[in-house]
Each structure stands twice: as structure tokens, then as C-alpha cells.
Structure 1
Amino acid sequence: MSDTATKNSLTQANLTKPKSNKKNRSYGLRGGKRVYDGYNDERKVKDRKKKEKQRLGYETFAKDFPRTNNALPGKYNNKIITGDSAEVLRRLPDNCVDIVITSPPYNFGLDYSEHEDTDDWRAYFDKLFSVFDECVRVVKYRGRIIVNVQPLFSDYIPTHHIISKFFLDKGLIWKGEILWEKNNYNCKYTAWGSWKSPSSPYLKYTWEFLEIFCKGDLKKPGNKEDIDINDDEFKSWVNAKWSIAPERDMKKYGHPAMFPEKLVLRALKLFSFRGDIVLDPFNGVGTTTLTAHHFGRNYIGIDCSAEYCKTAKQRIIDSGGILKWT
């Protein structure tokens, strides 16, 4: 067949080919965006509500905790306390704080003031969970627990998974997980493991995790006038990847592993009301208590280091009512 005949044949085939319509097109336009036409139809679950009830969801694992909340004794309110966290928390009544926001030592081998940060992993988790046991007890019904953690990847210990399993086994409800993107690009380090080989490549991460749990119920009651998150903050922060630079002033405060005030602020405004009581059982030099103080929350901070507790108190005094990044 000549080139001319071939061209005429293809042209005739195109003329006689049925025109596509929106129903059978692969792509279409919706809201000014190019999308796959059949995506929503393919993903739609029939009888969704019925199937959700059949699965039971978090109710499969959630525990029915006592619902009577108690007042935090005045001598602990807005206090920073030096001591063993588990021992201090045992003095508190059940169901007396609204939210826990904390970042425990990661067992990396860092140089803390009064803490040996290199334990056998079983010993580490035993000590950590003795504190978390008390946190579960003292958090109010419908309260929240938020734990910032980074696994020690070189030891291949999935700390965030182990901590999450602990709280699930205790009957708390997993509310979600936030990726804290630190943008410190530690992937540039030349720790690739088996270089250019599938033998044992070493994965690098630029983020940490915030694991979020609820006690007894997903919904926390509060007064409308005590909400301090605005529209733009809410829309941005419910996207569960937070890009926040790491703390830059750790040398200034003499602490090797501080988290930034912005991280605590977002957690506070998204998951608590003004006037709530905030607990940090690993308070360090007091980022949680400082942020709680300046955003209308009450607080209790505990740390085993008298030096860190002194710094935490002084930071509140020195801040003059203004956080350094605002």
C-alpha cells in the first residue's frame, strides 16, 4: 500500500471511529482540574455506614474508662517539678489533666544532665511505659496524649510503632499521626549502608512523628470562646505533615534534644482549649510549659534534672509574655 493510500485509510478510520464522550474518557475536567473521570465512581463504597458499623472501628480496641473527671490539686497547677515522673504522677488523682504533650528521651546516647540515654531497649521501654501508665491514668476522660518520637534507625527499633502499640493495648483510641518534616536534610549524610547494593541499604529520614491518642472518646468538649485556632491555621494544620525547622537554641539552654515552640503551639491549638491543663512528664528545659503559659493553658512540667527545671522556670520569667518566634 502506498503512503497516500495508508494516510487516506487512517483518515477514514478516524472519521468513522465513534467520538468519545465524558462517560468513556480517561480524563476530564472538574473544578478546573484534570482528573480521572471514573475515579470517584471506582472508589465509592456501597453501604458505607453499614460496613463501618460491621467493622466496629476503634471500638474493637477502645476501653471504657471511668468518666468522672477530677480537679488537679492547686499545689501542682502551673508548676515545674523536679523528680522522677512516674513517682510524681502517682501523687495526682485520676482524670485530672486535659492533654499530655511530650517528647521522651529517644535512647540515642545523647548527653542529658541527669539521664543516661543508652539503655538496653527492654529497660528503656520499661521505664518509659511506667511513666506512660501514669499518663493514661491522670488524663481526663476525652483527654489527649501526644508523643513526639523519632525511631533510632541505626538500631532498627520502630519506637513509634512500639509506643503506639502500648497505648492501643491500654485501650486508648489512635487519633492519628503527624509527620514533623524538619527539613534538616540528614539524607545528605554519607551513611548509605551497602553502597549501590541491595545487600543492606541504610534508609535516612528528615522527619519525626507525633502519635496522637484519645482517652475514651474522639470528641473533646469545650467552650466555643476558648477556641483559639483560626480558619487558616485549622485548614493548614489538619494536613498531617508539618514543615517546621528544628530548635536552633539548644546550646543556649544546655539541652541536646529540644523541640521547637511552633510544634507545641500547633498541637495545643489543634487539640486543646484555652484553660486546659497541659502535662509534660519529660519537660526538659520547658518548651511545653512555656508555650502553654503564653497561650492561656495551665501546665504541669516534670523532669529529673534540677538544672533543666531551673532553666524551664527562668524561660517563663524571661520571655516577658512573648515567645521568641512571634
Structure 2
Amino acid sequence: MGYSNGEIVEVKGNKYKRILIDLTKEVLEEDILPILMNSLNDSGYFFNLNGDKLAFLFREIDLGNFKERIEKFKNFKKLYKILTELITKIEAIKSYGIKDGKRVYIDYDGERKVKGRRDKENHRGKFFYALHHKFKKDNNKLPAEFENKIICGDSEKVLKKLPDNCIDLIFTSPPYNFGLEYENHNDAIEWENYFTKLFSIFDECIRVLKYGGRIVINVQPLFSDYIPIHHIISKFFMDKGLIWKGEIIWEKHNYNCKYTAWGSWKSPSNPYLKYSWEFLEIFCKGSLKHEGETNVSDLTSDEFKEWVYAKWDIAPERNMEKWGHPAMFPEELARRVIKLFSFVGDVVLDPFNGVGTTTKVAKELKRRFVGIDISPEYCKKAEIRLSQGLSLFDSDSY
């Protein structure tokens, strides 16, 4: 039984990928093929029978859903074998886009063409706000005494011990000043004091970040105070000369938060807007390009295509009570950020490490890491989450 390789054909003015399947006499004599073609056809794909060949034509496909649907034919062994081999052929096609959870095979790389696009970009000027930077291009090694360590102390003071340009990626989620119950931290201080301390730590983060390194900040605005924290943080980094690389929407589907407050009920006088997502703000120091060898990237094709679509559907962390921390982000969020924005062997820093999600995932992904937190209790828990015990430094050492 043979299969074609997914050539592009045109049907009634529309383009499709097509896989042709040579059918055996036994399969052709079964009465199941008409049922197959009627029950498995979809807006993005369909089957067609032409003589002794079964054609599968597709523009886009939710592969998970498609696999579930063919399970209905599991009792028809010969046909089921054909369908499972068809899935293998579909999965072997590596050129596609991702949209709404579906693989898109036709016109997935199409974009609106702008005549003289590069000339117009050069005329407008890219990241004009970051051109005044005076960042040095020479990068340094992270001293061995900091490598793969959980450090307990004030991040501003600890970071002053690190040399310039020694960190590849900073991924963190600072306290949001929402009034949550953190260990060793008052999470409800005046906003001016909050930003003064936060920005003093971020100043050190900028200094220790390598030229071409990235800073990714997970943050949620405090809507009840009308403080757009993500915008204020973005302006800070842009004023410091960093390049705003982009923004990722972390859709948590946390619908429990949607109906707790309404503002002016059924009135336009002051409705309270609801959000089920947070933001990841991404910045680069000096250059959009982070130098590294492609062969030390651990990104798969599917991961890259899915994750550069800047809306990530990831459920919130479910084990916060277990670790005694009120605002953990899930390991999947850290995994995506670390794999998308750093190479294997890079150094990842979290200056608000909490109970150590960033450092745990960084270690699992074969990155070196530094985690800093002011709470001894959280630092101990961060160490527990690591696969190997690491030396715990206390604030008296720094």
C-alpha cells in the first residue's frame, strides 16, 4: 500500500495539500469507506475516493481531534491501519503554521506585502528609544561561586556582587503589591516606594545582563488601583535603553476571578473590567539577537511555531498551597520562556525566585541558574524542588 507525499492541488478554486493512498482490494470491498468519508470530513479537510485510491485533502487540521475521530474505526482493522499510517504521513510534514490550535498547511506563511518594506522600516527607524544606550558589548563569565545557586538575601545587594554582562536570560515575576501573604515581604506598600525598590533591583538586572540578553517580566496590572504595572515597567526598561521585543498574553482561563466585582452594575457610570490573563513583557539589551549556536537550541519545530504565536493558553499553578506560596507561575510558563529565549548552557537568573520554579525548570533544561529571594523559607523550598541539593547562602554572606 503506497502513499503520496502531500503535494498541493486545487479543488474548486481552493488549494489543498493532498495525500493519495493506494487501497487494497480487501479494503475496497468493505462498505465502510462511504461512512468514513461522510463522518470524518471537516471544514478544513475531507476524503475523496477515486478508483482504487483514497485521497485525503486538507488545508488545516486539529490533529488531536482528528486522532480521536479515527478511533471510531478501530474495529475495522485494515482501514484503521490505513488511517494511523495517514497520521504518520501528516505528522511528517514539517512546514505549517499554528492557528487556534490547528496546524495550517495552506497560506500559513502568507502576509500582507508592503512595497519597499525594508526601505520604509529604515526611514521610520527601529527602536529609536533605545539608540541612546551605552551598553558594553564585552560579556563576562558568571563567577563559579554564583553558578547553580539559590541565594537568600536582598536581590539588589546580591546582584551588586555579580560582574557586568554575565547573565543570558532573566525571567521573573516580581511581587505585584496586591496585598498577598508572602514570607518576609509586605505586599501592600505605597506605589512610589514599591516602584523605587523594584527599579533599583531592575537597574542591577540590566547591568548584569549580557549584551544581546533578554529580560522577561511576568506581571499583572492591579486593576482595582488603576495601576498599569506592565506599562510602567515597560516604560522603565525603554527609558533605560532596552529594546522592547514583544509582549505575550498568558491566558490562564481563570474564570473564577471574572464575577467577583462589577463596579457599576448594569450601568456605564463605572463598570469594572475583568481579565483572565497576565502579561509577559520581553526586553533585549543592546541587540535583538542573542548569540548562540543553533545546535545547542532544544526547541522543536512544533514548539517554535506554536510559541511565537504570542498568546499562550496555560492553566495557573495548582500546587501553591503545597509549597506555601501565594503567587507561583506554572512550570510550563517557565519552560516555554527558557527554551524560546535561551540556549542550552546559558545562565538564567530569577531575582524574585520564590519557591524556585524558574531555577527548577532551568536545571531540568540544562541551563545554569541563579535564584535569589529574601525569604529563607522560600529558598529552602526552592532547594527541595531541585533534583540535587545545593548550598544555601544566607544574607549575611552577601
TM-score bracket, normalised by the shorter chain, equals 0.7 to 0.9
Counterpart among 150, 158, 163 of residue 88 in structure 1: 158
Letter in 2 for 1:49: R
- Partners of 2:225 and 2:260 in 1: CA distance: 17
Partner of 2:343: 273
Selected match of 2:115 from 39, 46, 53: 46
Aligned residue type for 1:106: Y
- Report the counterpart of residue 280 of structure 2 in structure 1: 210
C-alpha contact 1:186 1:204 (8 A) present in aligned 2:
no
**In 2, Cα distance between equivalents of 1:308 and 1:252:** 12
Indicate the residue corresponding to 1:247 in structure 2: 317
> Normalized against structure 2, the TM-score is what?
0.69
Please give the secondary structure, in 2, of the residue aligned with 1:317: coil
Give the partner amino acid of 1:235: K
- 1:164 corresponds to: 234
Question: What does 1:149-160 align with in structure 2 at a 5 Å threshold?
Answer: 149-160=219-230
Which runs of at least 4 in structure 1 moved beyond 2 Å after TM superposition?
Answer: 28-34, 42-47, 59-62
More strand by share: 2
Under a length normalisation based on structure 1, what TM-score does the superposition of the two structures give? 0.84
Once residues 31 and 311 of structure 1 are traced to their aligned partners in structure 2, the CA distance between those partners, rounded to angstroms, is 55
Q: How do 1:1-326 and structure 2 match up within 5 A?
A: 31=15, 44-62=113-131, 63-186=133-256, 188-317=258-387
Deviation of 1:30 (Å): 5.4
* SS of residue in 2 equivalent to 1:308: helix
Q: Which residue of 2 aligns with 1:13?
A: none
- Where does the alignment leave 5 or more consecutive residues of structure 1 unmatched? 1-27, 35-41, 320-326
Check the 8 A contact 2:167/2:348 in 1, yes or no: yes
RMSD: 1.9
Residue 270 of structure 1, CA deviation: 0.5
What is the identity, as a one-letter code, of the residue corresponding to 1:50? D
Alignment partner of 2:179: what SS?
coil
SS in 1 for 2:181: coil
Contact 2:246 2:281 in 1 (8 A): yes
Q: Is the 8 A contact 1:186 1:205 kept in 2?
A: no
The structure with higher relative contact order (CA 8 Å, sep 6+) is 1
Contact kept, 8 Å, 2:146 with 2:370, in 1: the verdict is: yes
Percent identity over the alignment is: 65
* Gaps in structure 2 of 5+ consecutive residues: 1-11, 17-43, 45-58, 60-110, 390-398
Per-residue deviation, 1:318 = 7.3
Q: Distance in 2 between matches of 1:194 and 1:140?
A: 48
Count, aligned residues: 285
